[in-house]
Amino acid sequence: MEYFIQQLLNGLTLGSIYGLVAIGYTMVYGIIGMINFAHGDIFMLGGFAALIVFLILTSFIAGIPVALALLIMMVVAMLVTSLWNWTIERVAYRPLRGSFRLAPLITAIGMSIVLSNFIQVTQGPRNKPIPPLVNDVFHFGDVTVSLKQMVIVVVTAVLLTIFWYIVNKTPLGRAQRATEQDRKMAALLGVDVDRTISITFIMGASLAAVAGTMYLMYYGVASFADGFIPGVKAFTAAVLGGIGSLPGAVLGGLLIGLIESLWSAYFSIAYKDVATFAILAFVLIFKPTGILGRPEVEKV
Partner 1 sequence: MTSGNTTMTRDTILKVEHLSMRFGGLMAINDLSLEARRGEITALIGPNGAGKTTVFNCITGFYKPTMGMITMNRRNGEQHLLERLSDFEITKKAKVARTFQNIRLFSGLTVLENLLVAQHNKLMKASGYTVMGLLGIGSYKREAEGSIELARQWLEKADLIDRADDPAGDLPYGAQRRLEIARAMCTGPELLCLDEPAAGLNPKESLALNTLLNSIRDETGTSILLIEHDMSVVMEISDHVVVLEYGQKISDGTPDHVKNDPKVIAAYLGVDDDELEEVMHEELDGGSL
Could you list the residues that contact partner 1 (CB under 8 A)?
162, 165-166, 170-172, 174-175, 177-178, 181-182, 184-193, 300
Question: Closest approach of Cβ 290 to partner 1, in Å?
Answer: 17
Q: Which is nearer to partner 1, 202 or 280 (CB)?
A: 202
Nearest to 101, CA basis, from 160, 183, 29, 188 = 29
Question: Closest approach of Cβ 56 to partner 1, in Å?
Answer: 27
- Distances in Å between the Cα of 92 and the Cα atoms of 41, 95, 106, 124, 245 are 15, 7, 10, 26, 25
Measured distance CA(135)–CA(144) in Å, rounded: 12
Question: Closest approach of Cβ 9 to partner 1, in Å?
Answer: 31
Q: How many CB atoms lie within 10 A of CB 65?
A: 9
Measured distance CA(255)–CA(263) in Å, rounded: 12
Residues 238/248, Cβ–Cβ less than 8 Å: yes
Question: Closest approach of Cβ 246 to partner 1, in Å?
Answer: 13
Q: Which is nearer to partner 1, 195 or 287 (CB)?
A: 195
Q: Which is nearer to partner 1, 126 or 294 (CB)?
A: 294
What is the DSSP annotation of 40-63?
Answer: HHHHHHHHHHHHHHHHHHHHHSTT
Question: Closest approach of Cβ 83 to partner 1, in Å?
Answer: 17
Q: Which is nearer to partner 1, 191 or 255 (CB)?
A: 191
What is the DSSP annotation of 68-133?
Answer: HHHHHHHHHHHHHHHHHHHHHIIIIIGGGTTS-THHHHHHHHHHHHHHHHHHHHHH-SS-EE---S
Nearest to 200, CA basis, from 177, 182, 184 = 177
Q: Which is nearer to partner 1, 9 or 27 (CB)?
A: 27
Question: Closest approach of Cβ 178 to partner 1, in Å?
Answer: 4
Q: Which is nearer to partner 1, 1 or 189 (CB)?
A: 189
Measured distance CA(20)–CA(254) in Å, rounded: 10
Q: Which is nearer to partner 1, 97 or 177 (CB)?
A: 177
Question: Closest approach of Cβ 165 to partner 1, in Å?
Answer: 7
Residues 50/213, Cβ–Cβ less than 8 Å: yes
Amino acid in the structure at residue 224: F
Q: Which is nearer to partner 1, 36 or 196 (CB)?
A: 196
Question: Closest approach of Cβ 92 to partner 1, in Å?
Answer: 21
